[in-house]
Amino acid sequence: MKCAMFTAGVAVWLGTVVTILSRSHGDRNVYPSAGVLFVHVLEREYFKGEFPPYPKSGDASNDPITFNTNLMGYPDRPGWLRYIQRTPHSDGVLYGSPTAEHVGKPTVIEITAYNRRTFETARHNLVINIMATEEFPLPYQAEFYIKNMNVEEMLASEVLGDFLGAVKNVWQPERLNAINITSALDRGGRVPLPINNLKEGVYVMVGADVPFSSCLREVESPHNQLRCSQEMEPVISCDKKFRAQFHIDWCKISLVDINKVVPVYITRPDPGTGILPEFGEYNPPSESLKSRDYFSDFLITLAVPSAVALVLFFILGYTMCCRREGVEKRNMQTPDFAIYVVNDSFLITIHMFICVLTSIHPMGCSKK
């Protein structure tokens, strides 16, 4: 009986371990191309099965899940890779544009999912293997500013595909790739007010292998440049091909032909051999230093201010004591009538003050 119970317990334990291992995800490998926009969606449904109690198929649980992403061994992601998740009930998105410097170097991103209801965590790695492309970089690059989109909305494959289709219809290139997507907030834009369904705005850079079409160059005309300087909408003939879904600010479009860009070479100083030049042997100061007498310096420091203060004291004393006019000299130069008027006015003032003080007395003030 005990043996049967033990066997059943081992079977249950093994079943649990197998279930956990079957639900754990290994490393996922992706192979983006250098110079082409890379988008990887962190789906909440993908991680729900890793949080115990493990849901069954078709379970409609809606736990809040957030993600933390970082380069393995580092606290943050590489500089070219960005991440956004609007709410805990929406999917997270990793996106960016790898450069040729990252070709051949596997980038391992640690993804940690947090269930905000049960406080369970799940983790797996995303291995990004960046591949080189022959057409990198595409010689003609255009950057559009779309006013009615947020970055996570633009990163959706169907929305980005619709935009590239509209650009291809206007530009007519053989090869067209999305190079990068940047939120307007990362370019110094303001957070929109939560009214009228306002959007943050997004910059989308695309590249092609043929020169810019005449429609795209219409914004460079003097007439449209004048309208842009007056904060007016420029007149673009192909705007109607975007207007149904994308509201483009044509004054902020940027057209770059990298074949005409003058490269800037930064001259770096020669690092040298790292050996200091020869200056001879070090000659330290003598151990027997001569003692210095600071008494004379002390006297000079005190004597000069004291002498100046003493001279000023005598000048002030002479002015105040020896240069006074005196009461007799003042009275001699003042007419008697003025002295009488001043004295009489003073006596009247004193008398009125006494009357005020004695006004509560029933006798009041005398008429004298």
- The verdict on 348 and 319 lying in the same domain is no
- Per-residue pLDDT averaged across 323-339, rounded? 61
Q: Look over the chain and give the mean of its residue pLDDT values, rounded to a whole number.
A: 80
- The verdict on 324 and 338 lying in the same domain is no
- The verdict on 146 and 247 lying in the same domain is yes
Q: Is residue 250 part of a domain?
A: yes
- The verdict on 342 and 326 lying in the same domain is no
- Per-residue pLDDT averaged across 138-150, rounded? 92
CATH code of residue 86: 2.60.40.10
- The verdict on 250 and 155 lying in the same domain is yes
Are β-strands 121-128 and 28-30 bridged in parallel, bridged antiparallel, or unpaired?
A: parallel
Q: What is the pLDDT of residue 22?
A: 37
Do residues 212 and 140 make contact, with C-beta atoms less than 8 angstroms apart?
A: yes
- The verdict on 120 and 147 lying in the same domain is no
Q: To the nearest 10°, report the CA torsion of 257, 258, 262, 264.
A: 140
Q: What is the pLDDT of residue 336?
A: 57
- Per-residue pLDDT averaged across 175-193, rounded? 89
Q: What is the pLDDT of residue 306?
A: 93
Residue 152: exposed, middle, or buried by beta-carbon count in 10 A (0-12, 13-18, 19+)?
Answer: buried
Q: Is residue 216 part of a domain?
A: yes
Q: Is residue 284 part of a domain?
A: no
- pLDDT per residue as tens digits for the range 282-317: 788 777 777 788 888 888 899 999 999 999 999 998
Domain final position from 257, 283, 309: 257
CA distance 134 to 209: 12
- The verdict on 152 and 253 lying in the same domain is yes
Q: What is the pLDDT of residue 81?
A: 94
- The verdict on 147 and 238 lying in the same domain is yes
CA distance 81 to 102: 12
Domain of residue 303 covers 297-330
- Per-residue pLDDT averaged across 3-17, rounded? 43
Q: Is residue 18 part of a domain?
A: no
Q: From the DSSP assignment, how many helices (H) and strands (E) are in the chain?
A: 9, 11
- The verdict on 326 and 349 lying in the same domain is no
- The verdict on 223 and 249 lying in the same domain is yes
Task: Give the three-class secondary structure for 168.
Answer: helix
- Per-residue pLDDT averaged across 154-170, rounded? 93
Q: Is residue 304 part of a domain?
A: yes
- The verdict on 39 and 85 lying in the same domain is yes
pLDDT band with cut points at 50, 70 and 90 for residue 321: confident
Amino acid at 157: S
Written as six digits, the tokens of 156 are 């959706």
Domain final position from 128, 156, 177: 128
Least confident of 128-132, 211-215, 284-288, 337-341: 337-341
Domain final position from 72, 99, 128: 128
More confident residue, 153 or 9: 153
Q: Is residue 236 part of a domain?
A: yes
Residue 137 has pLDDT above 50, yes or no: yes
- The verdict on 241 and 349 lying in the same domain is no
Residue 206: exposed, middle, or buried by beta-carbon count in 10 A (0-12, 13-18, 19+)?
Answer: buried
